[in-house]
Amino acid sequence: MSFINSIGLSGNVIETGKGIKTKYMHTRKLFTLGLLATGLLFTACNDDEDDDPDPVLGPRLDMVELGSDAEGGDITISEGDILQFAWDARRGASDMETFDVVVTGVNTPSSLPTSTEGNNFTYNMDNDDEEIYLDTLVFDEAGTAIGSTNYTFTVTDGNGAQSFVSYDVLVVEASATLTISDFTWTRTGGQPAVGLDQFGLEWTDNLDIAGTVSAIVAQDEATVFVELTEDDWMNLQTVEELQDAILEADINGNSIDQYTGVSAEAGGTYSDYLGVINDDVAYILSIQDAIVVPGGSLGTVITIMGEYKN
């Protein structure tokens, strides 16, 4: 079973075989039924006006790119994405003769792929396809290079009449997936804490708030400093999503200039979440644990630990 014949409409591989109706076939049938209904309505209207067919009526071509539902025009995809074009071509006054596919641009393939129905292009139509031609073409390397590529599909009939659909596809850089790492911030006595520079934060003092002494983690070089949520930590997947969440929190009034949620007197477990943008890099911080070791020649040692994603 080839890659093209086994791919589903969502881009996932779906088992096919005798007696199995795939998601691809189901969606394609719905697409075809919709076009049939439109065609029947068009024919009925023509029958009311004139029983004689228009001798110069050319072929009709309806298309959809299955990943975007675009019926033509501009599409934007990410690096690594594929394109799946499905079409319904129908004769006009004359039988259809050829179906052509032309690709030009940065992702022009060395050779055109074979369609789901087993056709190569330019396709000189078999008798079975001269009146109605349904097919799908998958470009599994369409997202190889960043830049623009044009895909044009043209059907030509025996009178030389044509119908075409064109797509301009822009491939953009894929948004990177967030990675997770550990962090440790340590403050000894009255010295500035270490480990915060990466995030554009500083911890140079503690604060007595209503009888409880807390560490003051303050905004330093970071351009944005906000409170986020556990849902943000669990659900944000890409760098772009994290940047958007931090900026939205800032706009919605969740910005802060300091975080004082960790005790400077006793160790503990925490579940606080902070967002920062520093040097144009977005981070989400999960504050998880703190250890306080009093005394010593250099003073009390306070350590705050957790994880971050960026």
Pairwise CA distance, residues 288 & 34, whole Å: 55
Mean pLDDT value across the chain: 85
254 and 143 assigned to the same domain: no
Beta strands in the chain (DSSP E): 60-65, 73-78, 83-90, 96-105, 123-124, 132-139, 147-157, 162-172, 180-188, 201-209, 212-219, 224-228, 258-259, 268-278, 281-293, 301-309
Same domain flag for 195 and 163: no
User: Looking at the predicted structure, is the pLDDT value of residue 82 above 90?
Assistant: yes
Residues 105 and 191 in one domain: no
Which pLDDT score is estimated for 295? Answer: 78
Mean pLDDT in residue range 180-193: 95
Mean per-residue pLDDT, 46-59: 62
Secondary structure in 3-state letters for 180-209: EEEEEEEEECCCCCECCHHHCEEEEEEEEE
285 shares a domain with 196: yes
Please compute the mean of the pLDDT values over residues 203-229 and round it to a whole number.
91
Query: Mean of the pLDDT values across residues 184-206?
Result: 95
pLDDT of 278 over the 70 cut? yes
Domain boundary among 172, 195, 215: 172
Nearest to 163 by CA among 139, 133, 119: 133
Residue 40 domain flag:
no
Lowest-confidence region among 146-155, 234-243, 288-297: 288-297
Tell me: pLDDT of 170 over 60: yes
3-state DSSP percent of the chain in helix, strand and coil, to 5: 20, 45, 40
In terms of pLDDT, which residue wins out, 96 or 25? 96
Q: Are 166 and 62 members of one domain?
A: yes
**Burial group, residue 289, by CB count within 10 angstroms (0-12, 13-18, 19+):** middle
Tell whether 161 and 184 lie within a shared domain.
no
pLDDT, position 52: 54
CA–CA distances in Å: residue 80 to residues 145, 167, 238? 9, 18, 15
Token digits for 277? 């943008």
What range defines the domain where residue 128 resides?
53-172
Task: Please determine, for residue 214, whether its predicted confidence score (pLDDT) is greater than 80.
Answer: yes
pLDDT tens digits for range 124-165: 998 889 999 999 999 999 999 999 999 999 999 999 999 999
Q: Compare 6 and 299 and report the one with higher pLDDT.
A: 299
Confidence grade of residue 5 (pLDDT, cut at 50, 70, 90):
very low
If one counts the domains in the chain, the total is 2
Residues 6+ apart with CB under 8 A from 244: none
pLDDT number for residue 17: 35
97 strand-pairing partners: none
pLDDT at 183 over 80: yes
Strands 147-157, 162-172: pairing is antiparallel
Q: Is 109 helix (H, G, I), strand (E, B) or coil?
A: coil
Domain final residue, candidates 172, 194, 210:
172
202, 303: one domain: yes
Q: What is the pTM of this model?
A: 0.55
CATH (domain of 76): 2.60.40.10
What pLDDT does residue 13 have?
Answer: 33
What pLDDT is attached to residue 126?
Answer: 87
Residues 173, 78: Cα–Cα separation, whole Å: 6
**What do you get for the CA distance between the two ends of the chain, in Å?**
40
**Bridge pairing between strands 73-78 and 162-172:** parallel
Share of the chain above pLDDT 70, in %: 82
Classify residue 122: in a domain, yes or no.
Answer: yes
pLDDT reported for residue 53: 52
* Alpha-carbon distances, residue 295 vs 81, 110, 195 (angstroms): 58, 72, 22
281 in the same domain as 250: yes
pLDDT in tens, 7-49: 333 333 333 333 333 334 444 444 444 444 444 344 444 444 4
Helix (H) or strand (E) holding 55: none
> Do 116 and 209 belong together in one domain?
no
Say if residue 165 is in the same domain as residue 189.
no
Among candidate residues 122, 152, 172, the one where a domain is terminated: 172
Taking the C-alpha atoms of residue 168 and residue 147, their distance in angstroms, rounded to an integer, is 10
Question: In a 3-state reduction of DSSP, which class is residue 243?
Answer: helix
Q: Is the pLDDT of residue 282 over 70?
A: yes
Are 260 and 207 part of one and the same domain? yes
pLDDT at 96 over 50: yes
Q: Which pLDDT score, from 0 to 100, does residue 56 have?
A: 77
Residue 256 is predicted with a pLDDT of: 96
Q: Which amino acid is at 275?
A: G
Check whether residue 209 and residue 279 sit in a common domain: yes
